[in-house]
């Protein structure tokens, strides 16, 4: 069980790193003209970060988390339900970022740099809530 827990934490750290960095790249990308050399560089960076790190890390986090909850018989626990709600929201943020990577790739960015700055704060807030739920198990 400790191995599964370690793998869950490792995959979560990788996923969170990607969720912190990807919107930050988008902040800078939104401020450069479409088709410029800088824009093309951001496109490559965003796509690689999403496909090589964020997507596999999210999948691994879900797999190891479900495995861990099953091994620990934690499914009836209310703190786990709250944590899962936060992880579902985090996954929705991930899907939004994936959509924006595709739109940037097609030179159709719909948002300002300020929008991506705000989006950049959502994973941090969710991470804080998740950590407190897991450590304190308040209910």
The answer to whether 83 is a known ligand-binding residue is yes
The answer to whether 111 is a known ligand-binding residue is no
Decide: 40 and 137 in contact? Cβ < 8 Å.
Answer: no
Question: Environment class of residue 55 by beta-carbon count within 10 Å: exposed (0-12), middle (13-18) or buried (19+)?
Answer: middle
Residue 61, C-beta contacts closer than 8 angstroms, at least 6 positions apart: 8, 11, 12, 15, 87
DSSP one-letter code for 111:
S
**Residues tagged in the binding site annotation:** 8, 83
**Residues tagged in the binding site annotation for heme:** 8, 83
């Amino acid at each position: 069980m400790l191995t599964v827990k370690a793998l869950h934490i490792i995959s979560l750290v990788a996923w969170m790193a990607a969720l912190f960095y990807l919107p930050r790249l988008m902040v800078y990308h939104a401020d450069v003209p479409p088709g410029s050399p800088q824009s093309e560089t951001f496109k490559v960076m965003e796509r690689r970060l999403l496909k090589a790190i964020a997507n596999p890390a999210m999948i691994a986090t879900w797999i190891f988390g479900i495995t861990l909850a099953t091994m620990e018989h934690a499914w009836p626990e209310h703190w786990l339900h709250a944590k899962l709600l936060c992880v579902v929201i985090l996954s929705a943020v991930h899907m939004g970022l994936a959509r924006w990577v595709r739109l940037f790739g097609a030179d159709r960015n719909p948002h300002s740099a300020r929008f991506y700055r705000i989006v950049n704060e959502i994973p941090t807030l969710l991470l804080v809530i998740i950590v407190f739920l897991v450590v304190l198990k308040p209910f």
